[in-house]
Amino acid sequence: MKVVHIVRQYFPAIGGMEEVVRNLAKHQRDQGRYEPSVITLDRIFRGNNRRLATADMLDGIPIHRLPYAGSERYPLCPQVLGALRDADLIHVHAIDFFFDYLAWTHMVHRKPMVASTHGGFFHSPFAPRLKQVYFRCMTRLSALAYRRVIATSENDGQIFGQIVGEQKLRVIENGVDISKFQNDAALQLRPTLIYFGRWSVNKGMLEMLDVMAALRALQPTTPWLLIIAGREYDLDAPTLRAEAELRGIGPQVRIVGQPSETVLRQQIAQASYFLCLSRHEGFGIAPIEGMSAGLIPLLSDIPPFRRVVDASGVGLLLTGDSPVDQAMQIIAQHQHQQAHVSTYAKARDAARLAASAYSWSDVSDHYTRQYDEVLGQR
C-alpha cells in the first residue's frame, strides 16, 4: 500500500518536522507494510531561492518536489492533486495550505487522509487573534475530511481536542532518532551549554544570550561557554555574533552554522547541558536528541518541556522573570552536579535512559495501526 507523506519542507531542509517525516518514512520502508514517498515544495524557505530537483531520493524513498506561489506562511501549491494519483493513503504533515486544500478537494481526489499536527500554526506570536478565528472556523471544517487527526504531543492533543471529535483524534508523540548522538556528551562535567536546531526567534535565541550574559556577570571566573549550532532562519550568524558582542559575551559564545552531523557530534562532545528557551513547541525534538547524548536539559517552562523534565526526572525548567533568575538556577544546577564525582555520571545516564522511551520503532507501529484502521474504513 502506497502512503504519500506531504510536508512543505524536506531534504535538504533541516528541521524538527523534516526529521520526523524522514524517520517515519524510513521505518515504514523497513517494516515493508507500506511503501512511502514524499511530496514537498521545490524551494527552501529562508534559503537562496534556488529551485531544487523535481525528483530525488533519500534513504531509498522517492521525493517529488513541486513549485509554489505565495508566502512561506501559507504556500500555494494546487498542482499537488496531480501527484497523488497512485496514492492509497495521504498523510499530511502540519496545518497549512496542503491540509486545507486537500480537505476541500476531497471529492475530487477521493483518497483517505490522515494528518499530523506538529504544533499547528501557533509557534509564533504573529496575528494570534486571527489564528484563533481561523483555527476554530477553517481548520475545524477542513478536519472533517480527515479519517484521523494525529496530535504529535499531549499539548497538541489538548488544543486540537477543541475542534476534533475524540473518535477521530489520536495522540502519538513524535519519535526521536536516539542513535544519532548516542552517548556523545562530555564525559566529564563542563560549564558548557549547547543549543542545536533552527535559529528562529520563537526558539528564544536572544533570551539564551541574555542568560549567558547573566552567567558571565554572576560567575566571571567560571569558563562558561554557549555553543549555538544549527541553521539560519529568522536569525543568522552575523546577527547572533553582533548580539553576543552587544552583551559583552562574544568570546563566551561559539556560533556553528550548518554543521554536518559529524561536526555537531564534536560540539556536543564538549558540552554538559542542552539549553533551549522556546516560547512554544508542538513537541520539542532537539532536547530529546540532546538527552540521548547525555546532555542535561535546561529548558523554558512550557508544557512539552515540562512533560519531558517531569517524566525523566532530569534537568531543569528555567523559571523567573529575568535572565539573572534563570542564570542563578543554572549555577545551582551546576553546583549540584559538582557536589560528588558520581552525580554528573548518574544524571547523564538518566538523561540517556529517558530519551530511549522515544524510540522510532514503537512510534512507527502506532502509525501503522492507525493506517490499518483508516484503510479498513474504505
Q: Are both 31 and 137 inside the same structural domain? A: yes
CB under 8 Å to 134, separation ≥6 — which residues? none
Cβ atoms of residues 95 and 139 within 8 Å: yes
Q: Is residue 336 part of a domain?
A: yes
Task: Flag the least confident range among 112-126, 169-183, 336-350.
Answer: 112-126
* Cα–Cα distance for residue pair 129/335, rounded to 1 Å: 43
CA nearest 299: which of 320, 318, 322? Answer: 318
CB under 8 Å to 208, separation ≥6 — which residues? 195, 226, 228, 275, 276, 277
- Provide mean pLDDT across the span 18-45: 95
- The sheet with strand 273-276 has its strands ordered as 253-257, 225-232, 192-199, 273-276, 296-300, 316-318
Q: Are both 296 and 366 inside the same structural domain? A: no
48-94 pLDDT, tens digit per residue, is 789 999 999 999 999 999 999 998 889 999 999 999 999 999 999 99
Q: Is residue 238 part of a domain?
A: yes
pLDDT at 282: 73
Q: Are both 213 and 352 inside the same structural domain? A: yes
Task: Flag the least confident range among 75-79, 84-88, 229-233, 349-353.
Answer: 229-233
How many folded domains does the chain comprise?
2
pLDDT at 123: 58
pLDDT at 129: 84
Q: Are both 31 and 106 inside the same structural domain? A: yes
Q: Are both 132 and 204 inside the same structural domain? A: no
Q: Is residue 297 part of a domain?
A: yes
Task: Name the band, by pLDDT with cuts 50, 70 and 90, for residue 126.
Answer: low
Q: Are both 11 and 139 inside the same structural domain? A: yes
- The whole-angstrom distance between residue 260's C-alpha and the CA centroid of its chain comes to 18
CATH value at residue 353: 3.40.50.2000
Task: Name the band, by pLDDT with cuts 50, 70 and 90, for residue 15.
Answer: confident
- Residue 274's SS3 state is strand
260-298 pLDDT, tens digit per residue, is 999 999 999 999 999 999 988 877 889 999 999 999 999
Q: Is residue 185 part of a domain?
A: no
- Residue 373's SS3 state is helix
Q: Are both 129 and 229 inside the same structural domain? A: no
Q: Are both 157 and 269 inside the same structural domain? A: no
Task: Name the band, by pLDDT with cuts 50, 70 and 90, for residue 3.
Answer: very high
Above 90 in pLDDT, residue 368?
Answer: yes
Cβ atoms of residues 97 and 77 within 8 Å: yes
Q: Are both 284 and 259 inside the same structural domain? A: yes
Q: Is residue 181 part of a domain?
A: no
- DSSP letters spanning 234-255: SS-HHHHHHHHHHTT-GGGEEE
Q: Are both 170 and 300 inside the same structural domain? A: no
CA nearest 277: which of 332, 186, 203? Answer: 203
pTM, two decimals, is 0.81
Q: Is residue 351 part of a domain?
A: yes
CA nearest 297: which of 267, 272, 263? Answer: 272
Above 90 in pLDDT, residue 199?
Answer: yes
pLDDT at 233: 86
Helix ranges, the chain (H): 16-31, 97-104, 106-109, 128-134, 140-143, 154-160, 205-218, 237-246, 261-268, 285-293, 303-312, 323-338, 341-355, 360-376
Q: Are both 14 and 154 inside the same structural domain? A: yes
Cβ atoms of residues 164 and 144 within 8 Å: no
Give the domain extent around 132: 2-175+359-376
Task: Name the band, by pLDDT with cuts 50, 70 and 90, for residue 313.
Answer: very high
* Cα–Cα distance for residue pair 298/165, rounded to 1 Å: 35
CB under 8 Å to 37, separation ≥6 — which residues? 2, 3, 4, 5, 25, 61, 62, 63, 64
149-165 pLDDT, tens digit per residue, is 999 988 899 999 999 99
Task: Name the band, by pLDDT with cuts 50, 70 and 90, for residue 215.
Answer: very high
Q: Is residue 282 part of a domain?
A: yes
Q: Are both 121 and 245 inside the same structural domain? A: no
Q: Is residue 184 part of a domain?
A: no
Above 90 in pLDDT, residue 333?
Answer: yes
